[in-house]
Amino acid sequence: MSNSARRQLGTTGVQISTIGLGCMGMSEFYGKADDAASTALLHHALDVGMNFFDTADIYGPHTNERLVGAALRDRRDEAVIATKFGIMRDENGGWLGTNGKPDYVRACCDASLERLGIDTIDLYYQHRVDSDTPIEETVGAMADLVTAGKVRFLGLSEATPEQIRRAHAVHPITALQTEYSLWSRDPEAELLDTCKELGITFVAYSPLGRGFLTGAISSPEDFAPDDFRRHNPRFQGENFQKNVDLVNAVRGLAADKSVTPAQLALAWLLHQGQHIVAIPGTTKRSRFDENIAANNVVLTDEDLAYLDKHLPVGAAAGGRY
């Protein structure tokens, strides 16, 4: 593989980068935003052949799509842009629950198109399933957006195998986005196989364990005061130390292979199936270049067995949220 390594998006024939770019942190959650630096990074990503970009209406809130759209729209044909709807927030960032009602789907799509400044969204995800609205109704409304030419392909995020099958029966689901990494291996129980069976690309978010698997975090004090990880169960108290111990196993093997812990963690993910891609987020060009170089890391059966032994399913201490 190379920096511009690609895998097929679902069964569409469209090729996307095996390692894309999660853009959320450019606007919120991980410390202060720098739009100029983020724009330069988005341009750099295109320059090196990376084409898969992930945003959502709520990131910012409501500012990340503008940032991503402004950076990419002059080179629209080079970018596959994914965005999401379904989680509601007010302008001050307050959380207002989920909504999958058809009228809301249509309104969100139009708003996202306006913020992105584009005619068509390549991949449109339901960000979280709305327990009060049958998924068939939500996906039916999403399918209408495809018919209208506003959306090319449909996705779900954090959905169960049963929800995926019900949605897929209404209109082909092209991608499922769910947290997956060496320290969040829950999707291996059933989700990965469900996606493989149905021809759905599995898009792994937080593939570096929210930064933990980079080996760069040694203390909760490493976070900025407004970084949400300060309040995440896995980054607190006894959990923190137990999780540091897990990362040391990754760090050891990475050193043996002359790669970084982040590159090892991303390479492991890509070895779990040809239908899997990752979208690590970063705001730093050096980190971005480090991440996409993981395409070139080859893992042996022994390497994979070592990681299975030291970071088995359920190894991480603390809840995901």
Q: pLDDT tens, 128-163?
A: 999 999 999 999 999 999 999 999 999 999 999 999
Dihedral angle of Cα 187, 320, 154, 106, to the nearest 10 degrees = 150
Q: Which of 59, 125, 180, 205 is catalytic?
A: 59
Domains of the chain (ranges, CATH numbers): 6-211+273-297 (3.20.20.100)
pLDDT for 1 beyond 60: no
> Rounded to an integer, what distance in angstroms lies between the CA atom of residue 232 and that of residue 307?
24
Residue 223 dihedral angles phi and psi, to the nearest 5°? -90, 145
Q: Can 59 be counted among the known catalytic residues? A: yes
- Sequence-ordered list of residues with C-beta below 8 angstroms from that of 196, at least 6 positions apart, any chain: 273, 275
Q: What is the pLDDT of residue 241?
A: 80
Q: Which of 64, 117, 56 is nearest to 87 (CA)?
A: 56
Q: Which of 319, 283, 315 is nearest to 27 (CA)?
A: 283
> Rounded to an integer, what distance in angstroms lies between the CA atom of residue 247 and that of residue 212?
7
pLDDT for 292 beyond 80: yes
pLDDT classification of 35: cutoffs 50, 70, 90: very high
- Cut 0.75: pTM above it: yes
Q: Which of 246, 260, 145, 155 is nearest to 200 (CA)?
A: 155
Task: Give burial (CB, 10 Å; 0-12/13-18/19+) of 252.
Answer: middle
> Rounded to an integer, what distance in angstroms lies between the CA atom of residue 166 and that of residue 258?
45
The rounded mean pLDDT for the chain is 94
